[in-house]
Amino acid sequence: MIVDEAHNAVTGLSRDVQARVRPAAVIEFTATPKDRNNILFNVTATALKDEQMIKLPIRLRPHGDWRSAVDGALRTQRMLEEKAKRDKDHIRPVVLYQAQAKGREPNVDQIRDYLHRERLVSPSWIKIATGDRRELDGVNLRDPSEPTRHVITVQALREGWDCLSAYVLCATQKLRSATAVEQLLGRVLRMPYAERRKNPALNMAYAHVSEPEFHDTAEALTDKLRQRISEQREAARGAMRQAALFGEGAAPTVSKDATIRFGASTYRDVALTPLNRLRFQKHLLGNDAVPAFDGDETGEEFACAQALDALEEVEVWLRNIPRHRDSFSLPLLKDNFYPDFVAKLTDGRLFVLEYKGADRATNEDTRNKTQIGACWARASGHVYATVEKVRHGAGRQCPSGWCRRPRAEPRRSAARGRA
């Protein structure tokens, strides 16, 4: 079952219909997901802007009454139309007016009369789109001979209404719902022809509002959008830096200047794991000096330690404590990464192991750690592995093959860096 505008399919009736149909899966599409939605794929505003599909930023201006808001929208439309005349494609910027319902001011007819009688807008330039007045039916707003510049409605702008020529929103309703405001602003975000225009003014959207509640909510959304875009750009830059530093093509060096040595005095100041029946045979500090695990003897990390202890290729191993001065770490962009275990193999190499539960096995942090671990292994000739519960079980199926030296692959030369 595919559900569009899925933010509305949250009532008991919607769920009853889904239960009766009994679909194998329910796929939902929405621009305003709820916190409880299981989001499988998300297209960010930054990605849409980079693909030249939307106009950003949104120029939002508050007004003291609805007439001044309409006047502001008119001035913006005229300014944009003059600039659009010099564009290579036909663009006639349209203003979308959200009127009040019948019995409230301004209603549809009041806005239309104000535009025509007070501001001398030609009636042929004005269209009304409501439940019982569908003047846009059959109208092609991208036709150069079509004169429409102003569309007045009440609820039709909320969702599912697309007009690629819409540049200006004039809202007169009191809206406190962030979802409703976001849906309305979305009506003027689409970029004509999905191509960035030469004039910067035509790459932005505009909103004139007469109610403080709408303005305050829209400002909060705009700030939130700016923050999201900034975070997304920073994340993208971070991913690029991560790949440049630690990706397949990176060429790091390994230096002995920062060597970590584990010995009998290591971790004397940390909490230990009280062991009952279970015994470790190969822990460096002995069975009675094992640093504490996340969880008890029934936990996943403890199970991973048991699997490591049982590998015949492992000579000795140690629980590696995060952020301890005596611990082994690898660099990330903003912090250091402390793998869960460090082992010495019987062939003399180190075996560094990180365990991830099912809730973390595929997140960005895990990917970055796996990337730098593999990079360190390539540069040093040692071994790194990430054990994931979703692939290998709760630590009990640690693949011993990771500890064996590949037959066909010779040991890397240290010619590109220091030994």
Are residues 148 and 139 in contact, defined by beta-carbon separation less than 8 angstroms? yes
Q: Which of 67-71, 215-219, 402-406 has the highest mean pLDDT?
A: 67-71
Has residue 395 been placed in a domain? yes
Asked if 21 and 90 sit in the same domain, the reply is no
Quick one: tokens of 142? 């991208």
Q: How much is the pLDDT for 333?
A: 76
Please name the residues in contact with 251: beta carbons below 8 A apart, sequence gap of 6 or more: 379, 416, 417
Does 392 score more than 70 pLDDT? no
Same-domain pairing of 78 and 164: yes
Residue 69 and residue 27 share a domain: no
| Top-confidence residue, 27 or 256 | 27
pLDDT tens, position by position, 148-157 = 999 999 876 5
Is residue 417 situated within a structural domain?
Answer: no
Count of the separate structural domains present in the chain: 3
End-to-end CA distance of the chain: 59
Domain holding 300, by residue range, is 256-403
CA distance 266 to 109: 81
Do residues 80 and 220 both lie within one domain? yes
Q: For residue 415, is it within any domain? A: no
Residue spans of alpha helices (H) in 279-363: 300-310
Residues 278 and 167 occupy one common structural domain: no
Are 261 and 311 found together in one domain? yes
Q: Are residues 19 and 101 in the same domain?
A: no
Give yes or no: residues 35 and 49 share one domain.
Answer: no
Answer with the residue of higher pLDDT: 200 or 142: 200
Averaged pLDDT, 401-414? 43
For residue 361, is pLDDT > 60? no
